[in-house]
Amino acid sequence: MTDNVIETCRLTKYYGAKAAVDQLSLTVPRGSVFAFLGRNGSGKTTTIRLLLGLETATRGTARVLGCDSQSLTPEMRNRIGYLTESHFAYGWMTIDECERFQSGGFRQWNRELFDAVIRHFGLARSSRVRHLSRGERAGVCLAMTLAPEPELLVLDDPALGLDPVARRALLEAILFVTRDERRTVFFSSHLLDDVERVADHIAILDGGVLRVLCPAEEFRRRVGAWIVRFEGPVPQLPPLAGLLGVTCLGNEMRVTVANELEAAEVALRSLSGVEIKSVPVGLDDAVVSYMDDRGRRRSLLQTIAGKTTSEPAGISPPDVGNLTPVRGLTPPGSPNE
């Protein structure tokens, strides 16, 4: 049994002249909760469809549970649970009928687990799908996905569009299932507070290219932020390696940097600021800062304030130094090879 549940090597998918996924090489360890992140259009859903054999790669390979994704047999698919943001179920069915219909396609079916998820969402088996809210329908689909006790659970933005109560119920149900260390969860999400609660590994796609692949805690450690306050106007920022973004408001400047944290702090302390303080960076802040492009254009707050000063000097993509490209943070705009 391999230690990796998912392995890709230079996985690439073109639609016409556009690469939706570009030479993606990653591994997902068995027993991990792996967050697959990126902005809209970054290639997350395409990658998931390639992994599940629902799309054909232009080139490169993908293996899931040790099997080529293009050759997944019914037996292999029995070991994979797949839940999408659409939460599809036949509206004319009751929840009881949904279970009978779904269970017929699997060799094993844990009815107690199905019932537990349904109860967690406060649903009755006699309820008809067409009368359920979006969050309740998500609960039914999650129950149908978990009841076969899949070895690999693939979730494509399952909480998108759900209200806070439904989101919490969905997240709690997933957390309950992931207590089994033999089970691996691979999920994409735009809800970064949810990611922070459950993920132990993260990957970030940028324009179809892998930029980050590391444990969540390591990523959090390698992104730092400072607020510098000045007595007069905010001065020009010196060149900083790994600069992610700068926000200026009044006489304060907030600077976010990846990797080169000690050098950044030394450079900031050399400015004429009257106060400098490091500020905590949660995983959600770190991910948003990394994916955002505000550091390479004028600050929104500067624009709102009507300032006409030029962009601070030295705004550039993160410099990975001696790090290997996909084992940490890599610069937006460079190939991952």
The pLDDT of 91-118, averaged and rounded, is 93
**Are the C-beta atoms of 244 and 257 separated by less than 8 Å?**
yes
Q: Which of 330, 228, 210, 216 is nearest to 284 (CA)?
A: 216
> What are the φ/ψ torsions at residue 8 (nearest 5 degrees)?
-125, 150
Is the pLDDT at 196 greater than 90, yes or no?
Answer: no
User: Can you count the helices (H) and strands (E) in the chain?
Assistant: 11, 14
Is residue 318's pLDDT more than 70?
A: no
> Residue 13: phi, psi to the nearest 5?
-135, 120
If residue 154 lies in a helix (H) or strand (E), which one and from where to where?
strand 152-156
Tokens of 231: 């007595």
| The pLDDT of residue 223 is above 80 | yes
Specify the pLDDT at position 336: 42
pLDDT digit string, tens, across residues 274-307: 889 998 888 777 787 777 754 443 333 333 333 3
Asked whether the predicted pLDDT for residue 31 surpasses 50, the reply is yes
Model pTM above 0.85: no
Q: What is the pLDDT of residues 148-189, one digit of tens each?
A: 999 999 999 887 777 788 788 777 777 777 677 788 999 988
In the chain, % helix, strand, coil (3-state, to 5) comes to 30, 30, 40
Domains of the chain, earliest start first: 4-218 (3.40.50.300), 223-305 (3.30.70)
Cα–Cα–Cα angle for 68, 335, 192, nearest 5°?
75
* Nearest alpha-carbon partner for 274 in 306, 315, 228, 215: 228
Residue 40 falls in which region: left (phi positive, over 0), alpha (psi -120 to 50) or beta: beta
Sign of CA dihedral 276, 282, 283, 289: negative
**Model pLDDT for residues 54-90, shown as the tens digit of each residue:** 999 999 999 999 999 999 999 999 999 998 888 888 9
Q: Identify the weakest region by mean pLDDT among 1-5, 224-228, 264-268, 316-320.
A: 316-320
